[in-house]
Structure 1
Amino acid sequence: MSTPRAAADDAQAPSTTLWFNGAVAFVLAGIVAITLHELARFLTAIALQSRATLYPSYIEFDITQTQTLILTSTAAAVTSLVTGLALIFAARIWGAGITRLFVTWLGFISVQLVFSSLLLAPITGAGDAATLLFWFDAPPSLYWIGFVVGAAGTVLLARLFATRVTAYADGSVSSMRSLGIGSWAAGTAVLVFVYALTFTFTTRSHPIEMVSDTLIGVAATGIFAPLFYPFKGTVRIVNEFLRFRRPTAALLCLVAAGLVLVFVLNNGVEFSPESTGSAATGATAGTGATAGTGATAGTGATAGTVAAAPDAAGSAR
Structure 2
Amino acid sequence: LLTAKNRPSLCSFRSAIFDLPDRREMLSKSSAELFGFWLLFACLVVVRYLGLVEFYLERFRDTTGDLANFSTPFNLTQFDAQRMINFTYLPASFAENCNLGSKHHLRLLVLVLSSVENFESRNSIRNLWADPAQSRGLREGKAKVYFLVGNGMNATEQLKTEIKKYDDIIVTDTPDNYMNLVYKVFTILHIAADLCPSSFVLKVDEDVVFNIDRFIAGIHTTFFPEKADVYCRVWHKMQPKRNATHKWYISVEQFAGDAYPNFCSGSSYVLTRQAARKLLNYTHLAHDIQVIVIIRRFHIFKISLDFLDK
Is the TM-score greater than 0.5? no
Structure holding more helix per residue: 1
| Alignment TM-score, normalising by the size of structure 1 | 0.21
Rg: which structure is higher? Answer: 2
Structure holding more strand per residue: 2
Query: 1 or 2 for the larger relative contact order (CA 8 Å, sep ≥6)?
Result: 1
| Alignment TM-score, normalising by the size of structure 2 | 0.21
